[in-house]
Amino acid sequence: MNQTTDEEQQGVRPVGEGVPAARDVQVERSTKETEIRLRLQLDTDQPLTIETGVPFFDHMLHAMAFHGGLGLEVQARGDIEVDPHHLVEDVGIVFGQALAKAVDQHGPVARYGHAVIPMDDALSEATIDAGNRPYLVYRAEYPQPYCGAFAVELLREFFHGLAMNAAINLHLDARYGANTHHMCEALMKALGRAIAQAYRRHDRVRSTKGSL
Ligand SMILES: [Mn+2]
């Protein structure tokens, strides 16, 4: 004879059955160079609070999260008076860790994601395999080296930290454009869309090998 708990008799489902828990993860990381708190919610696009102290980077993260429909809160402080390099890289690391944690805690995802996004003169593409094989291919030749005070070469550090720590294969291609701001922004929007697609819930591990 089956035994039922009080909770089941009251109609409360045990966690893990029926409606899955919203995927909501937090990661904190502090080093001598940076201090970062990040919360990622994959099943809601609210709230968005992004404060890194680097305005153009905030703008890029906001574009990524908004167009990916990701709930993202980032509070980051760091030695940006030296160079935003550490901070941009470490936000990539922590965001990657959050994506990995979401899969660890909440189960398998669709794996593949792809988006191509235009912005006026620019066209940028992002392709993801969230398949536990970390790799970054990043192709971009920007016509201007800076967006405001931000050296756009730093975006590579964000993408690398993200790819290695989420353990994803990430291909990014800022295909063409005349304006660096547009090329970067289109790329970040494409990244957000590709993440949203790759991290859709899936009921089992998507691999012919049975594991990733
Ligand atoms: Mn813009």
Q: Report domain extents, the chain.
A: 23-198
Please state the rounded mean pLDDT for residues 103-121.
97
Question: From the CA of 48, how far away is ligand 1's center (Å)?
Answer: 16
Q: What is the 3-state secondary structure (H, E, C) of 79-115?
A: CCCCCCHHHHHHHHHHHHHHHHHHHHHHCCECCEEEE
- Count of other CB atoms within 10 angstroms of residue 167: 18
> Is a pLDDT exceeding 60 seen at residue 106?
yes
Report the pLDDT value the prediction gives residue 5, as an integer from 0 to 100: 46
Question: From the CA of 181, how far away is ligand 1's center (Å)?
Answer: 6
Report the pLDDT value the prediction gives residue 15, as an integer from 0 to 100: 52
* For the chain, percent of residues with pLDDT exceeding 70: 92
Question: From the CA of 59, how far away is ligand 1's center (Å)?
Answer: 7
At 42-95, the pLDDT tens digits run: 998 888 999 999 999 999 999 999 999 999 999 999 999 889 999 999 999 999
Distances (CA, A) of 16 to 22, 84, 110, 115, 155: 11, 41, 19, 32, 38
Q: Please compute Rg for the chain using Cα positions.
A: 19
Q: In 3-state terms, what secondary structure has residue 150?
A: strand
Structural contact between residues 153 and 207, judged by C-beta atoms closer than 8 angstroms: no
* For the chain, percent of residues with pLDDT exceeding 90: 82
Distances (CA, A) of 203 to 20, 83, 107: 11, 43, 8
Report the pLDDT value the prediction gives residue 22, as an integer from 0 to 100: 86
Question: From the CA of 147, how far away is ligand 1's center (Å)?
Answer: 10
Residues in the 5 Å CB sphere of ion ligand 1: 185
Question: From the CA of 186, how far away is ligand 1's center (Å)?
Answer: 9
Residue 133, burial from CB neighbour count under 10 angstroms (0-12, 13-18, 19+)? exposed
Question: From the CA of 182, how far away is ligand 1's center (Å)?
Answer: 7
Q: Does domain 23-198 have CATH number 3.30.230.40?
A: yes
Question: From the CA of 183, how far away is ligand 1's center (Å)?
Answer: 10
At 137-187, the pLDDT tens digits run: 999 999 999 999 999 999 999 999 999 999 999 999 999 999 999 999 999
Report the pLDDT value the prediction gives residue 210, as an integer from 0 to 100: 75
Question: From the CA of 188, how far away is ligand 1's center (Å)?
Answer: 10
Task: pLDDT band for 211, please (50, 70, 90 cuts).
Answer: confident
Report the pLDDT value the prediction gives residue 4, as an integer from 0 to 100: 45
Question: From the CA of 49, how far away is ligand 1's center (Å)?
Answer: 17
Report the pLDDT value the prediction gives residue 1, as an integer from 0 to 100: 42
Please state the rounded mean pLDDT for residues 95-117.
97
> Does the pTM of the predicted model rise above 0.85?
yes
Which is it for strands 112-119 and 122-129: parallel, antiparallel or unpaired?
Answer: antiparallel
